[in-house]
Amino acid sequence: MKPNVISEQDEQKNRSKRSGLKRFIRIIVCLLLVTALVILSVLLLYAVNLHHKPDLDELLIRAELAKLPESIKNLQVETRLYFDDDIGRIALNLGELLVRFEAEPNDIENFINSSPGIDKNFVRSVGSLPESEDEPTWWPTDDSSGLMYVFGQWDIEGMVRVYNDSNSVRIWARYIVNPKLEDIKNFIERIYDDPDAFLVDLLGDLYEKMQDLFD
């Protein structure tokens, strides 16, 4: 009776099957983990955004803008969730800020010069702001010309428009509602970029033992 001998070709097939099975298990585990994390993140984003709404002072500090002038009058402020035209819906962790006020010309100039976040090298002439269904009624201006300055940090960016005819200022900004939640986003992106490395870090020895079962 001939002894059972496993040919090299059969051994290669077995190794290929084991390798395929291990890859399949990794994919399933990754999908389950990613699905759970995405659901948890979305719920957390909604929960935090419902209870966290940065006020004007906080956003001015984050944008590295100066305090509003003492001669300020007719101040109008609106913060709202940001509608992203690229994705066609509200972005979960993005907000939009609109501010309008009037002040003495010297105070407005001091506000611009005292704001370290404003790029003093980028100044652009702009025209009036027309009425829009997307903007509050106090946002438009009939001023024929003004100056626009830009500012930007990693968690907030926008522009300041100054109109000398009416001595008015309009600040628009798009900002991250809660910067800490960006850690969650980066965490999920890391899973997609390198799921094997994520699983090794997360499961440690258990992940290695799972692989050994098929060796």
CA distance 175 to 59: 8
Domain that holds residue 70: 53-177
As for how many domains the chain has, the answer is: 2
Is residue 5 in a domain?
no
- Same domain? For 87 and 125 the reply is yes
171 & 78 share domain: yes
Instruction: Judge whether residue 214 has pLDDT over 50.
Output: no
Q: What mean pLDDT do residues 5-29 have? A: 65
Range ranked top by mean pLDDT from 42-51, 144-153, 177-186, 203-212: 144-153
- Whether residues 168 and 67 fall in one domain: yes
Give CA–CA dist 162/27, Å, rounded: 55
Give the tokens for residue 93: 């962790």
Tokens of 186: 């980066």
Summarize pLDDT for 100-152 with one digit per residue, the tens: 999 999 999 999 999 999 999 999 999 999 999 889 999 999 999 999 999 99
* pTM reported for the whole predicted model: 0.66
HSE on the CB side for 76, CA within 13 Å? Answer: 15
Does residue 30 lie in a domain region? yes
Mean pLDDT throughout 54-74? 95
111 in the same domain as 66: yes
If asked whether residues 40 and 60 sit together in one domain, one would say no
What is the Cα–Cα distance from 77 to 9, expressed in whole angstroms? 74
Average pLDDT value for the chain: 80
The H-or-E segment that residue 168 falls in is strand 168-176
Q: Are 42 and 64 found together in one domain?
A: no
DSSP helix/strand/coil, 57: helix
Residue 173 inside a domain? The answer is yes
Residues 19 and 67 in one domain: no
Residue 21 or 104, more confident: 104
Going edge to edge, which strands form the sheet with 73-84? 73-84, 89-102, 168-176, 156-163, 146-153, 118-126
In a shared domain, residues 123 and 153? yes
99, part of any domain:
yes
Determine the Cα–Cα distance for residues 111 and 170; give it in Å rounded to an integer: 12
Same structural domain for residues 71 and 116? yes
Q: Is residue 200 part of a domain?
A: yes
pLDDT mean over 26-35: 69
Distance CA 32, CA 47 (A): 23
Q: Are residues 166 and 107 in the same domain?
A: yes
Strands 156-163 and 73-84: unpaired
**How many Cβ atoms from other residues are within 10 Å of residue 190's Cβ?**
13
Residue 83 and residue 71 share a domain: yes
Distances, alpha carbon 17 to alpha carbons 5, 7, 23, 29, 213, in Å: 19, 15, 10, 18, 13
* CB of 62 closer than 8 Å to CB of 87: no
Whether the predicted pLDDT of 35 surpasses 50: yes
**3 found inside a domain:** no
My answer on whether 137 and 67 are in the same domain is yes
